[in-house]
Amino acid sequence: MSRGQTDSLPGFAYRFSDPALLRQALTHRSHGDSHYERLEFLGDALLNFVVAESLYHQRPHVNEGDLSRLRSRLVRDSTLAKIAQEVDLGDSLRLGGGELKSGGYLRESILADCLEAIIGAVYLDGGFESARSLVLRLLASRIESLPDAEALKDPKTRLQELLQARGLPLPKYRLVAESGADHAKQFQVACCVALLDEVVEASAGSRRKAEQAAARQVLARLDQASPP
Amino acid sequence: MSRGQTDSLPGFAYRFSDPALLRQALTHRSHGDSHYERLEFLGDALLNFVVAESLYHQRPHVNEGDLSRLRSRLVRDSTLAKIAQEVDLGDSLRLGGGELKSGGYLRESILADCLEAIIGAVYLDGGFESARSLVLRLLASRIESLPDAEALKDPKTRLQELLQARGLPLPKYRLVAESGADHAKQFQVACCVALLDEVVEASAGSRRKAEQAAARQVLARLDQASPP
């Protein structure tokens, strides 16, 4: 069978009735007009739904915000790119121009997008159940090993919830200083909570990151202060 | 049949096998512990997928970015809230506390969230095809009357694409002035393009909005300058 007529990929356990769909899903826009971007739109939506449904059933006591956070971790580019690498998807990708494959290096986003496109192509080729099984098969080990929702929260959220649970006022963040040239600004932020006597300060390249860093430090000190 | 056992809603053309699911979908967190938020997470994901699939088939020549923009318009809170109002969903909502319903005024986001929760509940109760038909029924007239994808682009995007299509350099935006107190800052931005001799300026409450306003004015002048 010639390369143009491949009807399946190693690691996907699915055989296409219409190999042209698979070929389109494997084609980057740099390689040709019939590329994967529309399929990626479809596959991304299906992936998000199938993962939502799976988490909904598997975590009956987890609230909506935590379900969203858990899903983000499963469907983000870095996770999808790793899965794509595990099944050697890069070997089958059709890319134009030497620059994209230079040094054997493939951008994470291209691998992730292509994986979504294949999911979309399987949906069109084999229907909802085929695509759903594929998604669950590809993600199985990662769904299995997801951490508790709590561990995925950012420090500001965790700090806020910890204070609210004890009926205490919300933390106060204040911008203390901005320094550096425009392209390399540093923001210093102070965080003040009722449970600590001192004000904790942290710096980072954006105000938001500095606030998160300050909240992380406050959480660490509270952890040390309270016996387990 | 008592209110607690309602198994259908006017305008939805769906009868629940499990009326408890419908009751949960109609219950805001202010009213009770068994509220709609998890169902909303599920329904939101299903809605996004069904709309993606519908647009994919109906607009075979529209690219991924434009498909996303078209979908956003259909699934945004303001659209969903209008649909909820058309089927008088507010009448069936279970809210706690007088404040939420004060003056008969219901927040857009609550109506939209509840509609998504009902979609999620129909999926759990009747399966994918039931939920899919419901979504397409609720959105039919709006999918029908969607504008061209081109018309949904923001002014900066349209201006950029217009210049690129003519092989011209990208527009340049420059912050000319910031004024006003922190809570009421105004940003004045200048936009400069190769096709116009003059620099066009616009002001708004954020830099991004000021840039969009400037791009809109540039587009309007280019429109006047070129014969149709």
pTM to 2 decimals?
0.74
B122 and B194, same structural domain?
Answer: no
State the CB neighbour count (10 A cutoff) for residue B49: 26
Are A50 and B25 in contact by the 8 Å Cβ rule? The answer is no
B199 and B130, same structural domain?
Answer: no
Domain tally for chain B? 2
- Could you say which of A147, A179, A212 is where a domain stops? A147
d(CA A54, CA A51): 5
User: What is the three-class DSSP state of B53?
Assistant: helix
Question: What is the predicted pLDDT for the residue at A1?
Answer: 42
Q: Which tens digits make up the pLDDT trace of A105-148?
A: 678 899 999 999 999 999 999 999 999 999 999 999 999 999 88
Q: Which helix (H) or strand (E) holds A201?
A: strand A200-204
User: Which amino acid is it at A155?
Assistant: P
Question: What is the predicted pLDDT for the residue at A102?
Answer: 52
Could you tell me the pLDDT band of residue B1, with boundaries at 50, 70 and 90? very low
Q: What strand order describes the sheet that includes A172-179?
A: A172-179, A186-192, A200-204
- Using alpha carbons only, what angle is made at residue A66 by residues B92 and A43, rounded to the nearest 5 degrees? 85
Region B203-211: what's the mean pLDDT?
Answer: 93
Q: Which tens digits make up the pLDDT trace of B105-160?
A: 678 899 999 999 999 999 999 999 999 999 999 999 999 999 887 777 889 998 99
Residue-averaged pLDDT of chain B? 89
A191 and A167, same structural domain?
Answer: yes
Domain hosting residue B209, numbered range:
155-225
**CATH number for the domain that contains residue A137:** 1.10.1520.10
A171 and A141, same structural domain?
Answer: no
B116: annotated active-site residue: yes
Distances (CA, A) of B1 to B19, B90, B96: 11, 20, 23
Structure tokens belonging to residue A117? 């496109």
User: What is the three-class DSSP state of B100?
Assistant: helix
Question: What is the predicted pLDDT for the residue at A224?
Answer: 78
User: What is the three-class DSSP state of A191?
Assistant: strand
Closest CA to A25 of A15, A13, A12, A38: A38
Region B212-225: what's the mean pLDDT?
Answer: 89
A58 and A8, same structural domain?
Answer: yes
pLDDT higher for B3 or A219? A219
B140 and B187, same structural domain?
Answer: no
B160 and B94, same structural domain?
Answer: no
Asked whether the beta carbons of residue B49 and residue A53 sit closer than 8 angstroms, the reply is no
d(CA A147, CA A25): 32
**CATH number for the domain that contains residue A162:** 3.30.160.20
d(CA B132, CA A126): 18
A46 and A125, same structural domain?
Answer: yes
**Out of A126-135, A218-227, B12-21, which region has the weakest mean confidence (pLDDT)?**
A218-227
Q: Where are the beta strands (DSSP E) in chain B?
A: 172-179, 186-192, 200-204
For residue A228, what are the contacts with CB-CB under 8 A and spacing of at least 6?
none
In this complex, the residue of B38, B46, B56 whose CB is nearest that of residue A49 is B46
CA quadruple A53, A58, A61, A66: dihedral sign: negative
Phi and psi torsions of B202, nearest 5°: -150, 155
In this complex, the residue of A41, A46, A49 whose CB is nearest that of residue B67 is A41
Asked whether the beta carbons of residue A49 and residue B49 sit closer than 8 angstroms, the reply is yes
Structure tokens belonging to residue A85? 């690498």
Structure tokens belonging to residue B58? 């109906």
- Could you say which of B125, B147, B169 is where a domain stops? B147
Q: Which residues of B touch A (CB under 8 A)?
A: 37-38, 40-42, 44-46, 48-49, 51-53, 56, 62-64, 67-68, 123, 128
Q: Which tens digits make up the pLDDT trace of A5-37?
A: 789 998 899 999 999 999 999 999 888 889 999
**Out of A183-187, A195-199, B161-165, B180-184, which region has the weakest mean confidence (pLDDT)?**
B180-184
- Could you say which of B147, B175, B192 is where a domain stops? B147
B100 and B17, same structural domain?
Answer: yes
d(CA B95, CA B85): 16
Nearest chain A residue to B63 by CA distance is A38
d(CA B5, CA A225): 51
Question: What is the predicted pLDDT for the residue at A96?
Answer: 84
A141 and A167, same structural domain?
Answer: no
User: What is the three-class DSSP state of A179?
Assistant: strand
B188 and B138, same structural domain?
Answer: no
B129 and B16, same structural domain?
Answer: yes
Give me the interface pTM, i.e. the ipTM.
Answer: 0.74
Asked whether the beta carbons of residue B53 and residue A40 sit closer than 8 angstroms, the reply is no
Q: Which tens digits make up the pLDDT trace of B57-102?
A: 999 999 999 999 999 999 999 999 999 999 999 889 998 876 465 5
Question: What is the predicted pLDDT for the residue at B227?
Answer: 54
